[in-house]
Structure 1
Amino acid sequence: MAAVAAVAVLALAGCGSGDSTASKTPGPLASTPPTSGSEPNSPSASTPTSSPRPGADGPGAPAADDPCETNLAAPEISRAVATLPRDPRSNQGWNPEPLAGNYNECAQLSVVIVKANTNADNPNTRALLFHRGKFIPTGVPDTYGFNGLDSAATTGDTVALEYAGSVPELDSVVRFRWNGSGVELIGNTGG
């Protein structure tokens, strides 16, 4: 019985706000500070902190116990890629391993960028948008050609996709936002 209690305490300690993107995601998942009337054993009565878990410090690291971390290995990504029509230029499928992204099942809007499964020098790329971890297959503006994510301009409900090419004057960032019922284009900045 003592071992079960110890495992439960360790599991709760591993979910501290210091290693999660949930604090950046608006909504009911954000933690609230304890009130003076909280019971000592209730989860909101303590605010555990912890250092990041091994393997959870890079993009694409497995999300282990926290669904609100970026997880570029989430099975939802490969399921979404499998539903895509072939790349129009090469007539090939898409590689399910993301080039970039911030997939997060807690975010209002997150994204992964995949490339055509071809050996061409410059394969087509495509961004896949997700709402709360679910792929948005229709009603999304054109998302071909992006090859990066501007993390400084990306929030819990907005993604900023980058296009960087061999001609710096053509580099751009395009922002998409979840408006409560769908995705809308909200900004485009050129290089």
Structure 2
Amino acid sequence: MLAAAALLAAGLAGCGPGDSTVAKTPQPPAAAPISTPGRPSTTAAAAPTGTTAPPVDPCAVDLAAPAIARAVSELPRDPRSHQPWNPEPLAGNYNECAQLSAVIVKANTNATNPNTRAVMFHLGKYIPQGVPDTYGFNGIDPSQCTGDTVALTYSNGIDGLKSVVKFRWNGAGVELIGNTAN
């Protein structure tokens, strides 16, 4: 009896306040199969180990692309205000993978109605020449745009007049292919 009491005392002395049977019970590995009666086995998902973001899709519309700011910095100043152009697009569908994409920028002025213009890109590269006049456009109609066509819009916002002008990449340059008014 004395030996049994000594063993019990020795066993209790090894337990501290933070010890528990749960803490001492072996746990299955993180990716061990988990099965529930009546359901197929699944593998538990491992927790992510890093904080890296998924890679950026180069074919997604990206109005914050550095190529836009570079292109806008190359534009001649606005002919009316003589100011440079604001590199932050008002609208656009810039895409590195599209045969033709565009952004709409405005003159960097505090005028009530600053000039606007479209800046066009072929496969993400600014097209500096050979583009028809693109002043005055203030939007893009994505429903009429394709990988090689951009539909620029003008709306005066007063009487509901809206014009859509389509431009297309023809393999060598940009051409005007349509002009409609609503």
Shift of 1:135: 0.2
Q: Identity percentage over the alignment?
A: 71
Matching residue's letter, 1:101 = G
Residue 96 (structure 2) pairs with residue 105 (structure 1): yes
Structure-1 residue corresponding to 2:128: 137
* Contact persistence 1:86–1:93 (CA under 8 A): yes
The separation in 2 between residues aligned to 1:134 and 1:74, in whole angstroms, is 11
Q: Gaps spanning 5+ residues in structure 2: where?
A: 1-47
Aligned mate of 1:95, from 57, 80, 86: 86
Cα distance per residue 1:109-149 (max 9 Å; x no partner): 00000000000000000100000000000000000000000
Aligned mate of 2:67, from 76, 84, 87: 76
- TM-score, length basis structure 2: 0.69
The separation in 2 between residues aligned to 1:111 and 1:138, in whole angstroms, is 14
Structure-1 residue corresponding to 2:168: 177
Structure-2 residue corresponding to 1:41: none
Alignment of 1:20-99 (within 5 A): 64-99=55-90
SS at match of 1:168: coil
Matching residue's letter, 1:79 = R
Matching residue's letter, 1:187 = G
Structure-2 residue corresponding to 1:119: 110
SS at match of 1:68: coil
List, as ranges, runs of 4+ consecutive aligned residues in structure 1 with deviation greater than 6 Å.
none
- TM-score, length basis structure 1: 0.66
Shift of 1:166: 3.5
Shift of 1:170: 4.0
Matching residue's letter, 1:112 = V
The separation in 1 between residues aligned to 2:98 and 2:132, in whole angstroms, is 19
Structure-1 residue corresponding to 2:180: 189
SS at match of 2:114: coil
Structure-2 residue corresponding to 1:53: none
SS at match of 1:104: coil
The separation in 2 between residues aligned to 1:98 and 1:166, in whole angstroms, is 19
Matching residue's letter, 1:148 = G
Shift of 1:190: 1.0
SS at match of 1:174: strand
Cα distance per residue 1:21-53 (max 9 Å; x no partner): xxxxxxxxxxxxxxxxxxxxxxxxxxxxxxxxx
Shift of 1:167: 4.2
Larger Rg: 2
